[in-house]
């Protein structure tokens, strides 16, 4: 065998071995989620149990409010995403095209948000939401995240990639700034919007800390909050918790597989020139 | 999620031109208002208030009592808040280099792979979009001492079993393993993007000059990946500094406070023990660490531009 062939073989062996390790938690989750309680703790463990208890999924849906929780998560993630797309594209448009005093300072000031995550501003942010009467409401999980430094930065970059002549030409034609943003710039940056949208949706679908604090009761629980509580109280039926976990993982995974290139563009932005 | 820090910003915004129109200025501020108002209300003012709270003792019920630097002295004299800073830094020191090394190895293996590249890339990306709450439960099940999959495998090859979540060192390792699992995909992606930017004529030239594979990697490819490495050190450190979900379900910060990260400490102090001031002090410590990382990034980037 030539040296090149053996290197190639090594490359595949290494990748496949690591890929198997990285997939293991997913496979194990799927396997545990369709087991009876007895099989769940059985040693040696079986990858494909007999019988396969598909009804675990029916049971978690009928015994726990997982569908309402998923709908809450969906609502929060979708609305935050839509709001962020609007606010970030407006701000990005202003930073990329309009000339105004203090633009650089404002840009830098807004970007300090990346150093001020929820954990840093926890209690005062909670008090603001409380003052607005939004504790125990899904809007309390949405409005605090109307602004996104990451998205503003991302879309500013995208919009700066659009030739300035297009902006000038639209101005000469008498279009208002608002129309240029809405009818010219937004349609020219679908990849940027999709990238921000995809990452934003997954982030808020999965987020735990803030929804945990403001959900205030079962009615407004999101999926991660409900799961965290199930993990605490359902020690007697862990296979159902496993089915719930699989459910929570499934949605963003499908979204990712469908929109993969936008996710990749999103996480690598800023790392290459 | 990728992190963009202020350092990237300076070069980005269009320079203020000489001709300014009042209409344009007004329009700009109207466009910015939907961002600036939530930023002020939900981020900037709360951040200032958190700083103020760090000088008080407060339990949400009785009026806050000014205690000067007492919370800060606690933090620096090795109290629970200070220990959470150490725990967090230890987790960063373990997970950032290991995930980056694994990501680099994977990127090199995947780059120029004739087939299966996108398939493998998807597999390693999957943890990035996975709910940490959900997968922490799975890891908890796999790490179980008696019935866990990992101890079963360890036992099957004849090694002594490990009480993964019972003792401080083992629990730290368990949390690290899960964090590395979730962080490696981004490293692979960034390095893969970096490798694809490398001008292959340079690599070919070195190869024709008789460079070995190791020399090729160390003297040609590694320096060209400097920008990717810098980006990853920064984003992964900022990510790891904020660790909360991973320990919330897997260990609840335990045993004792062995895996109580700053994020976990803030949550426990504020909402379980109602020591708001102490939580706020830890919040400020977290902010300070992120600020330090950002300043390091600014300096490194400036140096990189001069090269």
Q: Tell me the two tokens of residue B150.
A: 């990992």
Which candidate, B76, B77, B57, B75, places its Cα nearest to that of B67?
Answer: B57
Q: Tell whether A13 lies on the interface with B, counting CB pairs under 8 A.
A: no
* Distance separating alpha carbons of residues B304 and B307, to the nearest angstrom: 5
> Does position A182 have pLDDT exceeding 90, yes or no?
yes
For residues A262 and A194, the answer to whether their CB atoms sit within 8 Å is: yes
Mean pLDDT over the full length of chain A: 89
Q: Is the pLDDT of residue B11 over 50?
A: no
Residue ranges covered by each domain of chain B? 79-306
A184 confidence band (pLDDT: 50, 70, 90): very high
Residue A18 reports pLDDT greater than 90: yes
| Interface residue B244 vs chain A (CB under 8 A) | yes
DSSP A47: S
Mean pLDDT of A40-63: 85
What is the structure's pLDDT at A91? 96
Lowest pLDDT segment from A68-82, A209-223, B82-96, B205-219: B205-219
Distance CA A199, CA B255 (A): 34
- Which CATH architecture describes the domain B79-306? Orthogonal Bundle (1.10)
Identify the residue among A98, A135, A205, A226 best suited for mutation to test binding to B, counting B beta carbons within 10 A and taking the highest.
A98
**What's the pLDDT at B307?**
56
B266/A271 CB distance under 8 A: no
Q: Is the CB of B194 inside 8 Å of chain A's CB atoms?
A: yes
pLDDT score of B2: 42
Is residue A149 within 8 angstroms of chain B, CB to CB? yes
- Give pLDDT tens digits for A187-210: 998 888 988 998 899 899 999 999
pTM greater than the 0.80 cutoff = yes
Q: In terms of Cα–Cα distance, which of B233, B230, B235, B244 is closest to B279?
A: B244
Q: Using a CB-CB distance cutoff of 8 angstroms, which residues of chain A are in contact with residue B296?
A: none
Tell me the per-residue pLDDT of A22-50, one tens digit each, with 9 for 90 and over: 999 999 999 999 888 888 888 788 888 88
- Of B232, B230, B228, B241, the C-alpha closest to B92 is B241
**A29-33 long-range contacts, CB within 8 A, separation 24+:** A29/A242, A29/A245, A29/A246, A29/A249, A29/B134, A29/B135, A29/B138, A30/A246, A32/A238, A32/A239, A32/A242, A32/B138, A32/B141, A33/A57, A33/A239, A33/A242, A33/A243, A33/A245, A33/A246
pLDDT of A172 over the 60 cut: yes
- Domains of chain A in start order, with CATH, are 60-268 (1.10.3720.10)
| Residue A19 near chain B (CB below 8 Å) | yes
Q: What is the pLDDT of residues A118-170, one digit of tens each?
A: 999 999 999 999 999 999 899 999 999 999 999 999 899 889 989 999 999 99
Reported as type and span, the H/E element at residue B57 is strand B56-57
What is d(CA B265, CA A211) in angstroms, rounded to the nearest whole number? 18
**Which whole number is the average pLDDT over A92-104?**
92
Span B252-281, pLDDT tens digits: 887 989 999 999 999 999 999 899 999 999
What is the predicted pLDDT for the residue at A76?
Answer: 95
Phi and psi at residue B57, to the nearest 5°: -115, 130
ipTM of the modeled complex: 0.88
Chain segment B26-44, per-residue pLDDT in tens: 999 999 999 999 999 999 9
Interface of A with B in 103-122 (CB under 8 A): 103-104, 106-108, 110-117, 119-122
Percent of chain B with pLDDT over 70: 93
């Amino acid at each position: 065998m030539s040296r090149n062939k053996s290197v190639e073989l090594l490359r595949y062996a290494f990748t496949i071995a690591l890929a198997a390790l990285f997939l293991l938690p997913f496979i194990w989750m799927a396997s545990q989620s369709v087991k009876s309680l007895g099989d769940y703790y059985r040693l040696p463990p079986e990858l494909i149990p007999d019988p396969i208890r598909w009804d675990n999924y029916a049971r978690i849906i009928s015994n726990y409010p997982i569908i309402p929780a998923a709908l809450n998560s969906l609502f929060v993630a979708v609305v935050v995403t839509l709001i962020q797309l609007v606010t970030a594209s407006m701000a990005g448009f202003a930073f990329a095209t309009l000339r105004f005093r203090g633009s650089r300072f404002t840009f830098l000031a807004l970007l300090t948000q990346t150093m001020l995550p929820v954990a840093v501003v926890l209690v005062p942010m909670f008090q603001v939401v409380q003052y607005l009467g939004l504790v125990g409401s899904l809007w309390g999980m949405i409005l605090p995240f109307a602004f996104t430094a990451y998205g503003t930065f991302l879309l500013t970059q995208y919009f700066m990639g659009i030739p300035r002549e297009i902006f000038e030409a639209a101005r000469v034609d008498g279009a208002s700034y608002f129309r240029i943003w809405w009818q010219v710039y937004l349609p020219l940056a679908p990849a940027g919007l999709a990238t921000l949208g995809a990452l934003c949706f997954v982030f808020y679908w999965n987020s735990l800390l803030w929804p945990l604090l403001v959900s205030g009761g079962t009615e407004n629980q999101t999926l991660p909050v409900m799961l965290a509580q199930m993990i605490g109280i359902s020690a007697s039926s862990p296979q159902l918790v496993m089915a719930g976990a699989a459910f929570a993982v499934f949605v963003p995974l499908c979204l990712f597989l469908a929109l993969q290139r936008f996710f990749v563009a999103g996480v690598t932005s800023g790392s290459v020139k | 999620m990728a992190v963009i820090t202020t350092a990237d910003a300076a070069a980005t915004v269009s320079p203020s031109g000489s001709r300014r129109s009042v209409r344009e200025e007004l329009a700009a501020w109207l466009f910015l208002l939907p961002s600036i108002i939530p930023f002020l209300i939900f981020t900037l003012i709360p951040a200032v208030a958190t700083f103020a709270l760090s000088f008080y003792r407060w339990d949400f019920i009785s009026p806050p009592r000014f205690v000067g630097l007492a919370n800060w002295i606690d933090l620096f004299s090795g109290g629970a808040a200070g220990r959470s800073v150490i725990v967090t830094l230890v987790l960063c020191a373990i997970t950032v280099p290991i995930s980056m090394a694994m990501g680099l190895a994977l990127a090199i293996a995947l780059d120029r792979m004739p087939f299966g590249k996108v398939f493998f890339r998807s597999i390693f990306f999957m943890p990035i979009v996975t709910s940490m709450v959900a997968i922490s439960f799975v890891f908890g099940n796999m790490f179980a001492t008696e019935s866990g999959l990992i101890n079963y495998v360890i036992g099957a090859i004849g090694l002594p079993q490990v009480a993964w979540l019972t003792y401080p060192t083992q629990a730290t390792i368990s949390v690290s393993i899960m964090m590395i699992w979730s962080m490696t995909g981004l490293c692979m992606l960034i390095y893969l993007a970096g490798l694809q930017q490398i001008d292959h004529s340079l690599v070919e030239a070195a190869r024709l000059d008789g460079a070995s594979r190791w020399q090729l990697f160390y003297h040609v490819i590694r320096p060209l990946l400097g920008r990717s490495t810098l980006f990853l050190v920064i984003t992964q450190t900022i990510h790891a500094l904020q660790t909360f979900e991973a320990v919330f379900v897997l260990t609840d910060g335990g045993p004792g406070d062995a895996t109580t990260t700053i994020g976990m400490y803030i949550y426990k102090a504020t909402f379980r023990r109602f020591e708001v001031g102490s939580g706020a002090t830890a919040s400020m410590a977290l902010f300070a660490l992120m600020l330090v990382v950002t300043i390091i990034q600014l300096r490194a980037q400036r140096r990189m531009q001069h090269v």
